[in-house]
Structure 1
């Protein structure tokens, strides 16, 4: 094994090696956007088999596309123990919170995006939504990192979504204009899009707030050998409108149409049985929140896929082809919420991305 200099080793790996006491057993980094994650075994109690645990650290220089609510994911998981089924256990070792590694396959690996989800997992997903709806803001005492102005009063769904729109406008769009303004403009995106989005979603029905996972998609759902569904990655959890969590889930899951309709109606029945009023006005509000999600993705995906062009240190033509296809699809889905005049052609998107890359790295180091 080639030794790695301390400067190139992440803090998560250093902690994992220190805690495990055996560098060769440490696996990673695991794939993931937000964190450097390493996995290693620890011996169990007497008579019990050892288990594997995850040590994680946020990636350095990461562009955050979503607002974070809680100070610590591990704190939240500790508080939810016994209230939510099948979430990772947390173990404290030397002041470091480790999460139990869930052995199994992601739902994405078993049933990829766009394909139906078997009923055994659909049923368990609806149970998760019911458990989330039962957890009110008043019952969560975990430390919060968000400002007071980002904590609208219970039931203020308009205020809740406005704070999310404001985050995308200020933290994702405006904070990245120096690097991406030209590319945004070439793809038909400008700051006026946010006023259009606000007008589209104003006047939402009031619904009682609850705990939201915020990122409930197939890669964050683990199927264990007993066909039980585990929910991981609570980094983006927040307190707010339960219909927003459903909309985010639907947008990310890409269910076939017939299954999406069934999931929506089952969700309504599930949350109403737990907390009446949680689905109030869903017929009018769900399409509007889904439209917001399509518009939000334009800003985040333009930045994310642009940065992927040279993610390995050199320009990737393969990444460019993938980026062009993805961005055209995302822009096409956002025509209505962002009031786009047209969807750029693939050749237009490719040329815009190439110009952006050459401007960013300099002509001398750009692609030939």
Structure 2
């Protein structure tokens, strides 16, 4: 079988680099097909370094709302406001981000593990810098609708728009393909009514810039042990406590370190933007409950699509998928009002049936 022709993204990277053999990638990443290139020498270009050449993946499921029109434009606007973020340069009308040399935090301190104090302190500092940036400080084009921009402090309106996105753009928009799967797992439309009841009643807090995706793979540790923050694709303006909730949910800190992060986050953001931690004792749990519920809808679709590439997935993949979805459903049972959660074996059977039906349908088409 002849090799597949190079993608348009790779051809673009080769064109910009001028050396096909020097193009590295594609890198792991959900939203973009990304390659690392070195730019050819050019008069006046100092320290060319290595850069990321990216293009959005086609036919991509977007599980999170996007706020800013351009990640590169946002990074440029944050230069000098937020430390250790990628430089951006324009090359023939294309924005390139500097490739940060080093390894991800997750590659050295995996999910569930504690992180060293030096890294921990840099994450706290980042939260303080984010709290110091609000919508009025950002001359960046927005892509989100007016309805997705509640007035400053309207934390309930902010969270409602996130719930609305999950309901309409993740669940309802994909019902044709996934409704039977969700129903078989015990998740139906009424779950959103239960979720709204569960998370209602947030205290008002002043809005600021949120990264909204601060997990171990979006932190890079460079050779000098400095922490860099990448992948600002999902950044938005909103409730500062949501950024902490998302971070705690995704990082899976040991319990003691999670409590310490919450405590130091509170002290840091209150000093920068007073009122940012108002109602934190109750509202942090509400926001984490939303993240747990959101994961049900996003991860069921992700897992199904990963398995759906073959009609009879290998049993080891099914076992891992069954255990993963069982835990996710258990964690979200309260927020979604689920009376019972199917066993891993039941989930495996449901996934197998869905994969076979999908294969059969694609064969008919």
* Contact residue 308 and residue 358 of structure 2 kept, 8 A: no
State the shift of 1:364 in Å: 9.8
2:31 corresponds to which residue?
34
* Contact residue 104 and residue 225 of structure 1 kept, 8 A: yes
Residues 195 and 107 of structure 1: CA distance in aligned 2, closer, same or farther (over 3 Å): same
The SS at the match of 1:362 is: helix
Q: Which runs of structure 2 are paired with 1:54-133 in the superposition (5 Å)? A: 54-133=52-131
2:264 corresponds to which residue?
266
State the shift of 1:12 in Å: 2.3
2:333 corresponds to which residue?
335
Q: Which runs of structure 2 are paired with 1:129-208 in the superposition (5 Å)? A: 129-208=127-206
State the shift of 1:42 in Å: 2.1
- Alignment partners' CA distance in 2, 1:307 and 1:246: 29
Q: Which runs of 5+ in 2 are unaligned?
A: none
1:348 corresponds to which residue?
346
2:246 corresponds to which residue?
248
* Contact residue 152 and residue 159 of structure 1 kept, 8 A: yes
The SS at the match of 2:151 is: coil
The SS at the match of 1:195 is: helix
* Contact residue 312 and residue 352 of structure 2 kept, 8 A: no
Matched, 1:321 2:324: no
Q: What is the number of residues matched between the two proteins?
A: 361
2:219 corresponds to which residue?
221
- Alignment partners' CA distance in 1, 2:235 and 2:321: 28
State the shift of 1:283 in Å: 0.4
State the shift of 1:343 in Å: 1.6
The SS at the match of 1:128 is: helix
Q: What is the RMSD of the two structures over their aligned residues, measured on CA atoms?
A: 1.8
TM-score (norm 2): 0.95
TM-score (norm 1): 0.94
Q: Which runs of structure 2 are paired with 1:279-290 in the superposition (5 Å)? A: 279-290=277-288
State the shift of 1:310 in Å: 3.6
* Contact residue 129 and residue 267 of structure 1 kept, 8 A: yes
1:320-355 deviation line (CA, Å, top 9, x unaligned): 222111101101111111111112111100010011
The SS at the match of 1:344 is: coil
The SS at the match of 1:329 is: helix
- Alignment partners' CA distance in 2, 1:170 and 1:46: 49
The SS at the match of 1:91 is: strand
* Contact residue 308 and residue 319 of structure 1 kept, 8 A: no
Matched, 1:51 2:49: yes
- Alignment partners' CA distance in 2, 1:83 and 1:295: 33
State the shift of 1:48 in Å: 5.8
- Alignment partners' CA distance in 2, 1:204 and 1:275: 18
Q: Which runs of 5+ in 1 are unaligned?
A: none
State the shift of 1:315 in Å: 3.9
Residues 311 and 35 of structure 1: CA distance in aligned 2, closer, same or farther (over 3 Å): farther
Matched, 1:276 2:283: no
* Contact residue 313 and residue 352 of structure 2 kept, 8 A: no
State the shift of 1:141 in Å: 1.8
Residues 239 and 114 of structure 1: CA distance in aligned 2, closer, same or farther (over 3 Å): same
Residues 364 and 299 of structure 1: CA distance in aligned 2, closer, same or farther (over 3 Å): closer
Higher mean alpha-carbon deviation, 301-310 vs 159-168, is at 301-310
1:96-152 deviation line (CA, Å, top 9, x unaligned): 110000000100001000000110000000000000000011111200111001100
- Alignment partners' CA distance in 1, 2:235 and 2:307: 29
Aligned with 2:15 (options 13, 18, 28): 18
The SS at the match of 1:334 is: helix
The SS at the match of 1:82 is: coil
1:207-253 deviation line (CA, Å, top 9, x unaligned): 00000001000000000000000000000000000000000000000
